[in-house]
Chain A
Amino acid sequence: MAESAQNSIRIEKHPILGDLQSTGEVTIYFEGKALKARAGEPIMSALVAAGVSIFRYTKKGLPRRMFCGIGRCTDCIMNVDGVPGVRTCVTEVREGMKIEKQIGNGIWQIQKEEEAGNEAQ
């Protein structure tokens, strides 16, 4: 089944909150595919808006997406810019961010120069 099966959508109009205001656009990459996200939103909602229904697989191969949505449960963790275990519900999107599904505990994929950069900080 296609990942867009859930066919989630943006809430453009709302009886209490009014029309959705633009916050600016950010391009992120999910499994190499470019997606448009709203500036300031977390990775989680950008992926939900794009119809992504699986964020990761457990060691046993079971699919997971999100559960608490506020950074408590770690159900929604993914590999973000080479770092596994990132809580996508409380991590804001950033231009050019690379997001991959995590399998089990995931693997670190940080480039050598980035490692050197981090050490220098």
Chain B
Amino acid sequence: MKPNSKPAVVIGAGPAGLCAAIELKKAGAPVILMDENAKPGGQLFKQIHKFFGSKEHKAGVRGFDIGNELLAESLQLGIDVRLNTEVVGIEKDQKVWAVENRTRSYVIDADRIIIATGATENALSFEGWTLPGVMTAGCAQTLINVHRVLPGHCVLMVGSGNVGVIVAYQLLQAGAEVAAVIEAAPNLGGYGVHTAKVRRAGVPFFTSTTVIKAEGKESVERAVIANVDSKFIPIAGTEKILDVDTICIAVGLTPSIELASLAGCGMMYVPELGGNMPIHNEYMQTTIETVYIAGDIAGVEEASTAMEEGRLAGIHAAWAMGYMTEQEMQSKTEKTRERLAALRQGIFGLKRLIAKERVIQRGIAQ
């Protein structure tokens, strides 16, 4: 079989996209990696905490170090990375429409497309939520860890999941005060290790509690929180006022599926993984044979799982393009799947594993 000369286009240079491009390039396939941002790495560089998992999964290594390793590898391999390049359309027959520097538009005739566009943080609507000082937890994390500036001095964290507790801890490390972490559910949602660190720092946690109002003339000066009943309705008379200048929202993420949708990929709703997402099989192939997905777009998980999914997509695409034998593809895929399975253990991992299985079964059936 003569290998294809048309390139694979990988969209998004975060952990998933970088790993997909690395696998393709290592196999000798032509690959173009595009990202709308000025720098590659996606959201890895704001993750300054140590990752979980085994040594193989870079456990104990911090997000930004993983980012630097991946960038060094892609540089060494000579991957064609196109930054400041926004993919604005995917047409029939894998035509990828890109806009460079917001000035030049061009179309690439791709052989395979891997969409690794990540996810977007959810908003939460309450009175005063548009006031300056209300922002997503990821926004605060970017400001403190990447741009090194404090968005405020006293923070209310809304949401006790991993993002909520990790960012709360990082706000403390950056020198801010965290007035409280609140959680609408009756139980806390984050990994025990991260939650315990914030607790030890003396930050109070309130469960069955939500934010009902942000007050302030032209920016946040106070937050009003209240207990909620079993239907998440605030209970009158339980309001508390917190003197904060910043309210961080950490209430989950939603896969960024716009391009997969444009490409015509079949979708399914998976609440455990963030909502609507493209159906995919065990090779990360969507309902369109030539289009793959990897990372948070394929269900919101973690950078470590995103990297393995990126590898799965890259390996299969390299084989489909004729740059790898079937035996090699199967053996590499098997090893990657083993690592991926090891990452989906524990109470949180198991829930994601079951949800992913559901998606994959749909993907195989299609």
| Residue positions of A touching B, CB distance < 8 A | 1, 5-12, 14-17, 20, 38, 41-42, 44-45, 48-49, 53-55, 62-73, 75, 89-90, 92, 121
Q: Check if B355 is an interface residue, CB within 8 A of chain A.
A: no
Known: A11-B144, A16-B173, A69-B138. A54 touches B219 (CB 8 A): yes
Given contacts A68-B136, A70-B139, 15 further A-B pairs with CB under 8 A are A6-B152, A8-B152, A9-B150, A9-B175, A11-B174, A16-B62, A16-B173, A17-B148, A54-B218, A64-B132, A69-B142, A72-B120, A73-B123, A90-B37, A121-B103
Q: Annotate B63-96 by CB proximity to A: 1 below 8 A, 0 otherwise.
A: 0000000000000000000000000000000000
Known: A41-B147, A45-B147, A62-B130. A6 touches B245 (CB 8 A): yes
Q: How far is the CA of A76 from the CA of B321 in the complex (A)?
A: 42
Interface of B (DSSP majority class): loop
Interface band, chain B: 35 or more
Is the pair B139, A63 in contact by a Cβ cutoff of 8 Å? no
| Residue positions of B touching A, CB distance < 8 A | 36-38, 43, 48, 62, 103, 120-121, 123, 130-136, 138-140, 142-145, 147-153, 173-175, 217-219, 245, 256
A48 to B: closest C-beta gap in Å: 5
Measured between beta carbons, the chain A residues less than 8 angstroms from B139 are 66-70, 89
Is the pair A63, B149 in contact by a Cβ cutoff of 8 Å? no
| Residue among A1, A41, A72 making CB contact with B217, cutoff 8 Å | A1
Who on chain A is nearest to B172 by CB?
Answer: A15
A79 to B: closest C-beta gap in Å: 16
